[in-house]
Amino acid sequence: MHPYTKKQRALLEFVSKFCRTHGVPPTLEEIGKHFKVSRVTAFQHLRALERRGAVRRRSREARSLEILDPTWRPIPLLGTISAGSPIEATEESDTVDLRDFFPAKGDYYLLRVKGDSMVDDHIADGDLVLVERRVEPRDGDTVVAVLPGVGVEEATLKRFYREAGGAVRLEPRNRRLKAKRVNQMEVRGVVRGVLRKY
């Protein structure tokens, strides 16, 4: 699927927030009022999203709009679960928008992890890491480091630390592996999150 246009993203964001705040989807009139457009224009924007399979609405029902794209659809938050000693089983009524886990600003990309050098940071083989394109990391950041190789560049995911004399220590997070000190390298980004599918 091609990326959404700026207007489509704004509309999805508005509908998602409206649903979280009010517990029901907005009407065409409420969408038009928010974006300062006519009801007809609001309908046309929704139709474009319907054709893309991002939303669904039933005709002749004012509040029948439903977000289908899981990236924009709030997911029910049903309660708390213990990962230690058992706790009382209780249920809550809330939702979580998956977009809250993704930064709204900045330039990001995903990389699939191969190997186990970062397992102590809970980054495992097959995981996806969300990387912000940034060339000035802070000490301790997990970075995408590109090292000069013989005829080819080598990329690796490691913790970044500056050392005396302009050297850099690239540290794995696996007790079986040793850190590497380099004088030449390029940072292509800083890890901001990890995605894992079970």
Residue 24 has pLDDT above 90, yes or no: no
Catalytic residue among 7, 64, 105, 117: 117
Angle at CA 168, nearest 5°, toward 126 and 127?
10
Q: What is the reported pLDDT for 130? A: 85
Please provide the average confidence, as pLDDT, over all residues in the chain.
83
pLDDT in tens, 2-12: 578 888 888 98
Catalytic residue among 6, 82, 158, 178: 158
Residue 89 has pLDDT above 60, yes or no: no
Q: Say how many CA atoms lie within 13 Å of 117 toward its Cβ.
A: 18
pLDDT in tens, 163-185: 988 899 999 999 999 999 999 88
Q: With cut-offs at 50, 70 and 90, classify the pLDDT of residue 63.
A: confident
Q: With cut-offs at 50, 70 and 90, classify the pLDDT of residue 23.
A: confident
The least confident of 6-20, 70-84, 175-189 is 70-84
Supply the DSSP string of 31-88, one letter for each residue.
Answer: HHHHHT--HHHHHHHHHHHHHTTSEE--TT-TT--EE--TTTS-EEEEE---SSS---
Cβ distance 157 to 127 under 8 Å?
Answer: no
CATH 2.10.109.10 domain position(s) in the chain: 108-195
Q: With cut-offs at 50, 70 and 90, classify the pLDDT of residue 74.
A: low
pLDDT in tens, 46-57: 999 999 888 988
* Helix residue ranges, H only, the chain: 6-22, 28-35, 39-51
For residue 17, give the amino acid letter: K
Q: What is the reported pLDDT for 190? A: 93
CATH 1.10.10.10 domain position(s) in the chain: 1-101
pLDDT in tens, 120-171: 999 999 888 888 888 899 999 999 988 887 666 788 899 999 998 889 999 9
Residue 111 has pLDDT above 80, yes or no: yes
pTM for the predicted model, two decimal places: 0.59
Task: Report the CATH architecture of 108-195.
Answer: Ribbon (2.10)
Sign of CA dihedral 98, 100, 105, 106: negative
Separation of alpha carbons 74 and 132, rounded Å? 24
Active site residue 180: no
Separation of alpha carbons 86 and 149, rounded Å? 51
Active site residue 64: no
Separation of alpha carbons 142 and 161, rounded Å? 10
CB atoms within 10 A of CB 185: 19
Most confident of 68-82, 90-104, 118-132: 118-132
Q: What is the reported pLDDT for 120? A: 94
* Overall CATH class of domain 1-101: mainly alpha
Which two tokens mark 173?
């997070």
Separation of alpha carbons 151 and 62, rounded Å? 62
Separation of alpha carbons 69 and 98, rounded Å? 11
Percent helix, strand, coil in the chain, to 5, is: 25, 30, 45
